[in-house]
Amino acid sequence: MTPLLLIHGALGARSQLAALAAALEPEHPVHLVELEGHGDTPSTSAQFDIGRFAQNVRGTMRERGLARAALFGYSMGGYVALHLAAESPELVTSVMTLGTKLAWTPEVAAREVSRLHPAIIRAKVPKFAEVLEQRHVGAGGFELVLAKTAALMTSLGDRPLVDATLFGRLAQPVRLMVGDRDSVVSIEETAAATRSIPRGELGVLPNTVHPIEQVRAPLLTAMLRDFLAFAV
pLDDT of 45: 87
CA distances from 31 to 10, 34, 48 (A): 18, 10, 22
In a domain, 124, yes or no: no
**91 within 8 A of 69, measured Cβ to Cβ:** yes
In a domain, 121, yes or no: no
CA atoms of 131 and 141, how far apart (whole Å): 11
In a domain, 85, yes or no: yes
In a domain, 149, yes or no: no
Number of domains in the chain: 1
pLDDT of 26: 85
Query: What rounded mean pLDDT belongs to the chain?
Result: 96
pLDDT of 230: 87
Domain range for 218: 4-103+161-230
In a domain, 194, yes or no: yes
In a domain, 217, yes or no: yes
If you average pLDDT over residues 134-146, what whole number do you get? 93
In a domain, 63, yes or no: yes
Residue 9 confidence (pLDDT) above 70:
yes
Residue 38 sits in a domain of what CATH number? 3.40.50.1820
**116 within 8 A of 135, measured Cβ to Cβ:** no
pLDDT of 232: 64
The string of pLDDT tens digits covering residues 194-225 is 999 999 999 999 999 999 999 999 999 999 99
Residue 27 confidence (pLDDT) above 70:
yes
In a domain, 143, yes or no: no
Cβ within 8 Å of residue 227, ≥6 positions away: 94, 96, 173, 175, 201, 203
Note the pTM of the prediction, 2 decimals: 0.97
